[in-house]
């Protein structure tokens, strides 16, 4: 069973009850998929069984069409949040990490066309590889964080929190108005432009800031 880890190697007695994800939080990503920019955060949930350590190889679901990577900044929730204000959010975030929102793109497109939920395309087992989390000694500048993703050595995504349509404190507060966030839950904050299909043998590297965190994985 998946358990969260800090980058120092400490395993936490916490696992996510849920993973709350945000769609189209970067305008450029919405544009690259031909989607309209939402007027408020677009939320969906991955079950806890989607979480796996990013250090493990990614296993593509067989016979389900193309699987795309979406690199995201992940927030580890450390305190219960319900109906929170943006000012209450920072103290409840226990760590920062990186995640892959793996998406069965053809299946998602068909589900959207049919007006059905996305869970089968977004919430399958292993659909959320997670890095270890950086333990926060102080509250960072939520509006000035960057992360990057390389596919086979080529820079494919660069996320800047300054470009998020809904900034992190406001985003988590919005989520808590609909879903109570519990210790161990994870929030994925949206993906920037540059997503693409994964193939067997691909290698992915992700980095948070210049030196906070770097992780690598491969596709079996």
Report residue 107: phi and psi, to 5°: -65, -40
Express each pLDDT in 191-218 by its tens digit: 999 999 999 999 999 999 999 999 999 9
Cβ-based burial of 201 (10 A; exposed 0-12, middle 13-18, buried ≥19): exposed
Strand order in the sheet with 103-104: 103-104, 67-69, 196-197
pLDDT band at 44 (very low <50, low <70, confident <90, very high): very high
pLDDT band at 171 (very low <50, low <70, confident <90, very high): very high
Of 203, 5, 219, 17, residue with least CA distance to 98: 5
In 62-122, which ranges are E strands? 67-69, 71-77, 93-100, 103-104
Of 42, 5, 22, 31, residue with least CA distance to 161: 22
Of 97, 99, 101, residue with least CA distance to 132: 97
pLDDT band at 66 (very low <50, low <70, confident <90, very high): very high
CB contact set of 191 (below 8 Å; sequence gap of 6+): 25, 26, 29, 70, 71, 72, 101, 157, 159
31 pLDDT higher than 90: no
Q: Average pLDDT in the 146-171 region?
A: 97
74 pLDDT higher than 90: yes
Of 211, 189, 15, residue with least CA distance to 99: 189
CB contact at 8 A, 22 and 46? no
Tell me what pLDDT residue 106 has: 96
Mean pLDDT rounded to a whole number for the chain: 95
Tell me what pLDDT residue 34 has: 85
CATH superfamily of 18-218: Fumarylacetoacetase-like, C-terminal domain (3.90.850.10)
| Sign of the Cα pseudo-torsion (148, 97, 90, 119, in order) | positive
189 pLDDT higher than 80: yes
pLDDT band at 146 (very low <50, low <70, confident <90, very high): very high
% of the chain with per-residue pLDDT over 70: 100
Tell me what pLDDT residue 38 has: 87
Tell me what pLDDT residue 10 has: 79
144 pLDDT higher than 80: yes
Give the H or E element holding residue 21: strand 18-23
173 pLDDT higher than 90: yes
Tell me what pLDDT residue 1 has: 85
Residue 193 tokens read as: 């432009």
Of 131, 192, 164, residue with least CA distance to 5: 131
Alpha helix ranges (H) inside 56-167 = 105-113, 119-122
pLDDT band at 11 (very low <50, low <70, confident <90, very high): confident
Give the Å distances, CA to CA, from 87 to 81, 178, 211: 12, 17, 27
Distance (Å, rounded) from C-alpha 53 to C-alpha 128? 8
């Amino acid at each position: 069973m998946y358990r969260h880890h800090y980058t120092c190697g400490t395993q936490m007695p916490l696992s996510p009850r849920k993973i709350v994800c945000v769609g189209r939080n970067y305008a450029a990503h919405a544009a690259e998929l031909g989607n309209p920019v939402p007027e408020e955060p677009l939320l969906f949930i991955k079950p806890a069984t989607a979480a796996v350590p990013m250090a493990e190889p990614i296993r593509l679901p067989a016979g389900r069409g193309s699987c795309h990577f979406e690199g995201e900044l992940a927030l580890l929730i450390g305190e219960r949040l319900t109906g929170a204000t943006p000012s209450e959010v920072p103290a409840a975030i226990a760590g920062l990490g990186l995640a892959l929102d793996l998406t069965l793109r053809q299946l998602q497109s068909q589900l959207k066309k049919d007006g059905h939920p996305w869970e089968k395309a977004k919430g399958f087992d292993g659909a959320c590889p997670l890095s270890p989390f950086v333990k926060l000694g102080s509250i960072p500048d939520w509006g000035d964080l960057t992360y990057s993703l390389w596919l086979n050595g080529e820079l494919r995504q660069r996320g800047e929190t300054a470009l998020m349509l809904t900034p992190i404190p406001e985003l988590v507060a919005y989520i808590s108005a609909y879903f109570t966030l519990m210790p161990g839950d994870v929030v994925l904050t949206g993906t920037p432009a540059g997503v693409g299909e994964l193939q067997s043998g691909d290698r992915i590297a992700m980095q948070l800031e210049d030196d906070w965190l770097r992780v690598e994985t491969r596709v079996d």
